[in-house]
Amino acid sequence: TGLRIALVGRPNVGKSTLFNQLASAVRGRGTDGVSNPAPLVFVRSVVHALPGVTRDPREASAAISDLRFTVTDTAGLEDAVSEALERKAEPRADGEVTLVAATAMTDTPVYRNLYRKMEAGTAAEVRDADVVFFMFDAAHGLTQVDRAIALWLRKEASEKDIVVVANKCDVAGAENNAIEAYELGFGDPVVLSAEHKLGLADLYTEINRVY
């Protein structure tokens, strides 16, 4: 299929982990759909405990069960997000910050720099995609940087199908944080653990909707 899915989110939310899980489903599956390992040439995404490892967008053939698609792993926001954190442009996520507050915040030099980086990197992958998985770290909770990226998607990718993916829901308390995602206006979040492959059936449902 020509369906393209872009993974978007701030560094360290688990984009590369999900990318590798989706891509590895194709590895070892041949044209008969069962055996005959198919060569997979595009899997080059790097997962690391530290943010900042994935340098360029990566692309791979991927699958969840019988749904085949192309997935792209975006990166390149590391420096801009570090800057936002270092300059303390990231208010505490104390439940009082909202998308409205985030809108005002994005009109600051630090966040304008983040958007410049998004235009330089992420934007091309988003424009090529049919579906965007907007990922956040539910173990940590929604941050202002997440909200800023979500605002950018609402503006720049309003015609795309956007699915919010609440990752790291294997961690205690994360599933509860996942509901914070409703404020973004992208609908029901998918509760996921990319690392433990939990929640892939719900991702399947979301992809199948547009397939």
Interface residues toward ligand GDP, by CB under 6 A: 9, 11-17, 47-49, 51, 54, 167-168, 170-171, 193-195
- Shortest Cβ 11–Mg ion spacing (Å): 7
**What distance in Å separates the CA atoms of residue 121 and residue 165, rounded to the nearest whole number?**
21
Ranges of beta strands (E only) in 96-201 are: 131-137, 161-167, 190-191
Find which of Mg ion, ligand GDP, none residue 26 binds, CB within 5 to 8 Å per kind.
none
**What distance in Å separates the CA atoms of residue 70 and residue 19, rounded to the nearest whole number?**
10
Identify the sign of the CA torsion 192, 193, 196, 197.
Answer: positive
Q: Is 144 in the site for Mg ion (CB under 5 A)?
A: no
Per the listing, tokens 């701030």 go with 10
Q: Which is nearer to Mg ion, 16 or 106 (by Cβ)?
A: 16
Find which of ligand GDP, Mg ion, none residue 34 binds, CB within 5 to 8 Å per kind.
none
Find which of Mg ion, ligand GDP, none residue 170 binds, CB within 5 to 8 Å per kind.
ligand GDP
- Among the listed ranges 53-61, 91-99, 144-152, 164-172, the one in contact with Mg ion (CB under 5 A) is 53-61
- Calculate ∠ Cα 71-171-26, nearest 5°: 25
